[in-house]
């Protein structure tokens, strides 16, 4: 069934020169049809490394637009190329691409339309080197989000996700933030639209070259996550409407 679907992996990249090759080499090209790298005005040689590896679909942002804006470009291009299943993978080798077949099979066989690679299921996060404060921060935010959104996810903050074409064509991701909270807004949109989400255990690897946000940005991100969750809750009970939670026409 997987072979009948066009699978596109998107790599939202920023300063991924040192980790891109290791990530790229683990992508299962026996089932993946295309790989798209969008570079958000990196300061290093990410683009040259991508060219050296033979990537054919490379898109450059003329200026740094943000993590969310990077993903918007990724998904727009993947849909334009006719993708049936889109896998978003951070090119910092924090997540192993070897899980792609397991993730996309759930979508290709019409079991779930969305699959997340969770670092929290099992003991992958701490074992893989996730800082304790990040783990605690993750758990607190996830608990609050589950309460406000009526869900039971183990985490909302993973950078390893697979979506069916139908999902991305149904939600208004273009209305989302250009910053890190984009990921959480996408999950809020998916929940609001009634799509089911699956999770699989994903080992994680925190290294010096792995992408991370500083404390200031982490606090800002946390605020954005809580804001998104409350927006979902208030719209769900009919108090107010937010444009990003509306459906595409």
pLDDT of 200: 96
Q: What is the mean pLDDT of each run of 10 residues along the chain (249 residues)?
A: 91 97 97 98 97 97 97 98 98 95 97 96 72 86 96 95 98 96 97 96 73 72 96 95 82
CB count within 10 Å of CB 82 equals: 11
In the chain, the domains with their CATH numbers are 2-241 (3.90.550.10)
DSSP, residue by residue, 158-203: -SEEEEEHHHHHHB-GGGS-SSTTHHHHHHHHHHHHT--EEEEE--
Q: What pairs with residue 8 in β-bridges?
A: 34, 86
Q: Say if CB 5 and CB 86 are below 8 A apart.
A: no
pLDDT of 165: 98
Residues ≥6 apart with Cβ < 8 Å to 63: 41
């Amino acid at each position: 069934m997987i072979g009948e679907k066009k699978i596109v992996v998107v790599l939202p990249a920023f300063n991924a020169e040192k980790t891109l090759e290791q990530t790229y080499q683990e992508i299962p090209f026996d089932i993946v049809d295309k790989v798209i790298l969008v570079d958000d005005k990196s300061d290093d040689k990410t683009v040259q490394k991508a060219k050296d590896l033979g990537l054919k679909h490379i898109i450059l942002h003329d200026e740094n637009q943000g993590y969310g804006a990077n993903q918007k470009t990724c998904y727009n291009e993947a849909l334009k190329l006719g993708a049936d299943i889109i896998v978003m993978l951070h090119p910092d080798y924090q997540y192993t691409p070897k899980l792609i077949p397991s993730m996309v099979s759930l979508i290709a066989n019409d079991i779930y339309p969305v699959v997340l690679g969770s670092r929290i299921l099992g003991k992958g996060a701490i074992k893989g080197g996730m800082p304790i404060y990040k783990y605690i921060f993750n758990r607190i935010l996830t608990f609050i989000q589950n309460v406000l959104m009526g869900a039971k996810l183990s985490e909302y903050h993973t950078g390893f996700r697979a979506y069916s074409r139908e999902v991305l064509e149904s939600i208004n991701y273009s209305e989302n933030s250009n910053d890190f909270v984009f990921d959480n807004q996408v999950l809020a949109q998916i929940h609001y639209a009634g799509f089911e989400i699956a999770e699989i255990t994903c080992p994680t690897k925190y290294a010096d070259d792995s992408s991370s946000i500083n404390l200031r940005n982490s606090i800002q991100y946390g605020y954005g996550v809580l804001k998104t969750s409350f927006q979902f809750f208030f719209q769900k009970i009919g108090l107010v409407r937010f444009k990003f939670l509306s459906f595409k026409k």
